[in-house]
Structure 1
């Protein structure tokens, strides 16, 4: 008679059971772990107001205390995209755009049109990295507009914008055409309706910058009456007195 096969011990059975359970759990958990993987961070867009991106200076001399004060003022008065997002840097960029318009001798409506465009395109940031194809700068101008250094120069970029605006609206027709329409004609955006809603805030920004740069009113001293007052101590010590 052949010997009967030996039975596995309790320890071996327990080990086999634990192994089977571990394998079953791994099959259940693995798909869930794969599904719960990290979500890629969304890429920054030039138009995102809070996105982190590489920036170039707008004013070579940097920002000023007036820029900081205007940023605080504007954050309480703007009503659209830039409300709460103005900074001394962004004010300095807007200031350089306004300066380019005034240096060209244009009506300040041109500054409102230009600032409206920068609000939509770059959130008034002089973006120095290519986030949308090869676009750069405040106006997100493509490489066909000019060199990298030109497009990152607010004065050059603003004048390039104004030049194209004039070509689209000769005989100063840009003085009366809707601002959003003008911005779209220059930029040829895939989202033409984005500009007009920002025009009101652009005017507030331009008005604040212009007001901060206005020369102080001459001091009015009124009419000055002079009399001579003799010192009681000396007949020669006579001095004028302003009343």
Structure 2
């Protein structure tokens, strides 16, 4: 039996306006008015308030930076794969320890490592989103790549094809905010 969950993103964006986020990345009143209920299938169904808020932070940051909807969809795909849109304060420690590498330094929505910037920035959804978008902008031929390949270029994952499965769910989240 197919299950559909409806997520109201307007309340999420209302809450987002009151959170500690760089104010230039907060959604505009017009964006909030355009938010509708959206049916999200697959692994994104049943998003928590935290996950919806993090998705809104990515969308708002990308919009404020002048990123295209395609670029924002790429960022959502990466965050869905890397953290399930959860702001994690740890990485894949089990894998690092199994490999004998100690502990992972990856944190945040995009599981960014120390080389990306301060832990404080990587743990703040708008700041980590800005780091992701800045890296994405460095890929001059990203428009010629698949969405998953563009995410992989930024993330350098050991599992490069895993981003592709999130394309439809990321599009649904983005369309809900438009």
TM-score, reference length from structure 1: 0.53
CA distance in 2, matches of 1:138, 1:60: 19
Larger RCO, structure (CA 8 Å, separation 6 or more): 2
CA distance in 2, matches of 1:190, 1:130: 14
Structure with bigger gyration radius: 1
- The aligned residue for residue 18 of structure 2 is 61
The answer to whether 1:165 aligns with 2:126 is no
Normalized per residue, the structure richer in helix is 2
Alignment of 1:180-191 (within 5 A): 180-191=148-159
**Structure 2 regions of 5+ residues with no counterpart?**
1-14, 20-31, 94-103
Contact 1:126 1:138 in 2 (8 A): yes
The answer to whether 1:114 aligns with 2:75 is yes
**Structure 1 regions of 5+ residues with no counterpart?**
1-57, 211-243
TM-score, reference length from structure 2: 0.71
Alpha-carbon distance, 1:79 to partner = 2.9
SS in 1 for 2:40: coil
Alignment of 1:209-220 (within 5 A): 209-210=177-178
- Identify which range, 117-126 or 156-165, moves more after superposition: 156-165
CA distance in 1, matches of 2:61, 2:143: 17
CA distance in 2, matches of 1:150, 1:83: 28
SS in 2 for 1:144: helix
Contact 1:80 1:197 in 2 (8 A): no
Q: Say if 1:182 and 1:155 are closer, same or farther in 2 by CA, change over 3 A.
A: same
RMSD, aligned CA: 2.3
